């Protein structure tokens, strides 16, 4: 017997709004459901993760997920939850983004098996590109009144002064286009359920309304949403000062990704481990209890960071991220340092002082390089004293003599020197 999907979402804190009759339908048959993402970049970010996990739980509960990439709607932009119009993308960019997104989704969903509920990726550009404006106006537009569309909260917010320029006709049509997606998938794939974030509720109910007005009042079409994930302080989840946390390792290194989850607050960790992992209720309850006994050990954060990093990247990336995290706490060796690629190395030492030195400096004693080429030490005397007391390391190895000659052999990744003064003061030197 498959798990009850709605119950699964409820205890995980992933259910916000649901249409009457949805749960009964899910208990009665294998349901095909879709969730849409606009391919505005060639990678998803953690703001998309709640939706992806909904699709993953849906498949695990025996239902069939459709991941919709909004190639057509991505060309327009959705007014929901935004105060400005989105940049429009060309087809080539959209197709590239679609392929990249599918690769990322394949880590969460089964696209390849012969199971009746295997996942599918669909792109609304495929059924919209051949439709003329006249077709759309005649076949779709006639079913929904402007009054109905105007009443939506997302439209009202934009019209009542949040955006200086109001709402373009292009964006106004977005809910009809999204509504048509649902109608099309209902007719071609037997899709009866649409899922999404809370800000999509207006667009989703337009979809169910369009299906009923087109195909008859008895037609089974439903919608459910997950809450918009926020941090305990009420701020938007997934954004950092440096921008989005991406799933693509080239945009956000696995180390940085791991660090994001490791550093969430206790309250957030308790919520997020339910939403962003597939751990069962019993395991999570045990972890929460263990965490409460000794919050200082950060049991929840560590397990959350492990689960999500392994799921999005790999076990190997997770192990590397842990090793990288240990570096700053005095653990790790030269061999460990040499394992990291350049992006990871720069991520680890993002906040430490950086100096550029000329490669002509190689072949000189350490004391000259670290006082003149790069002012790690205020004077040669200071450095001499610290080296004698065993307080200076180069690339995680104690510097035995202050006048040790530094050569190209010492470079990490062929261009970096990591100097440590005392226990906690790091300096990264780049040889150019």
Tell the residue number behind the tokens 């660090």, with chain if given. Answer: 259
Distance CA 68, CA 54 (A): 13
Q: Measure the CA–CA gap between 385 and 191, rounded to whole angstroms.
A: 73
Check if the beta carbon of residue 35 is closer than 8 Å to that of residue 54: yes
Contact predicate 186/25, CB 8 Å = no
| Apex 12 CA angle, 81 and 102, nearest 5 | 60
Lookup: tokens for 304: 């959350």
Question: Exposure string (b/e) for 4-20, b if CB count within 10 Å is 16 or more?
Answer: ebbebbeebbbbeebbe
Closest Cα partner for 210 from 171, 189, 178, 179? 179
Q: How far apart are CA 248 and CA 107, in angstroms?
A: 12
For residues 329 and 157, what is the distance between their CA atoms, to the nearest angstrom?
48
Return the SS3 of 406: coil
Residues 6+ away with beta carbon under 8 Å from 242: none
Residue appearing with tokens 């990678």: 43
- DSSP code for 198: G
Cα–Cα distance for residue pair 368/362, rounded to 1 Å:
10
The catalytic residues are 40, 45, 48, 82, 86, 178, 199, 236, 239-240
The candidate with the shortest Cα–Cα distance to 307, out of 249, 268, 250, 258, is: 258
Structure token digits, residue 83: 């105060």
In this structure, what token pair is assigned to residue 61?
């509960």
Question: What distance in Å separates the CA atoms of residue 186 and residue 238, rounded to the nearest whole number?
Answer: 32
Pair 5, 26: CB distance under 8 Å: yes
């Amino acid at each position: 017997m498959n798990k009850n999907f709605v119950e699964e979402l409820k205890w995980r804190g992933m259910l916000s709004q649901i249409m009457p009759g949805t749960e009964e339908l899910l208990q009665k048959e294998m349901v095909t459901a879709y969730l849409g993402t606009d391919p505005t970049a060639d990678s998803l970010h953690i703001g998309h993760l709640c939706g992806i996990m909904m699709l993953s739980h849906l498949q695990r509960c025996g239902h069939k997920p459709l991941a919709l990439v909004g190639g057509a709607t991505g060309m327009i932009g959705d007014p929901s939850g935004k105060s400005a119009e989105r940049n429009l993308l060309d087809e080539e960019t959209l197709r590239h983004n679609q392929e990249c997104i599918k690769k990322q989704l394949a880590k969460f969903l089964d696209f390849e098996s012969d199971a009746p509920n295997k996942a599918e990726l669909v792109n609304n550009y495929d059924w919209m590109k051949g439709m003329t404006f006249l077709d759309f106006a005649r076949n779709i537009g006639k079913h929904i009144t402007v009054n109905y569309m105007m009443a939506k909260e997302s439209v009202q917010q934009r019209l009542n002064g949040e955006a200086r320029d109001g709402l373009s006709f292009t964006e106004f049509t977005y809910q009809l286009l999204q509504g048509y997606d649902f109608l099309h998938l209902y007719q071609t794939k037997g899709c009866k359920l649409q899922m999404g974030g809370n800000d999509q509720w207006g667009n989703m109910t337009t979809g169910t309304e369009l299906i009923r007005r087109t195909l008859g009042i008895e037609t089974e079409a439903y919608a459910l949403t997950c809450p918009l994930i926020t941090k305990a302080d009420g701020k938007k989840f997934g954004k950092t000062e440096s921008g989005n946390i991406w799933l693509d390792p080239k945009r956000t290194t696995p180390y940085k990704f791991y660090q994001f989850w490791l550093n969430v607050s206790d309250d957030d960790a308790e919520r997020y481990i339910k939403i962003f992992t597939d751990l069962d209720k019993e395991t999570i309850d045990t972890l929460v209890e263990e965490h409460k006994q000794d919050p200082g050990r950060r049991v929840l954060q560590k397990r959350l960071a492990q689960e999500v990093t392994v799921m999005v990247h790999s076990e190997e990336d997770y192990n590397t991220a842990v090793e990288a995290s240990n570096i700053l706490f005095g653990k790790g060796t030269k061999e460990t340092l040499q394992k990291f690629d350049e992006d990871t190395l720069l991520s680890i030492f993002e906040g430490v002082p950086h100096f550029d030195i000329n490669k002509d400096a190689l072949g000189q004693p350490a004391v000259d390089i670290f006082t003149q080429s790069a002012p790690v030490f205020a004077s040669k005397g200071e450095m001499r004293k610290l080296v004698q007391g065993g307080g200076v390391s180069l690339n995680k190895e104690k510097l035995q003599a202050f006048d040790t000659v530094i050569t190209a052999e010492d470079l990490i990744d062929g261009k970096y020197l990591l100097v440590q003064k005392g226990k906690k003061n790091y300096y990264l030197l780049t040889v150019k």
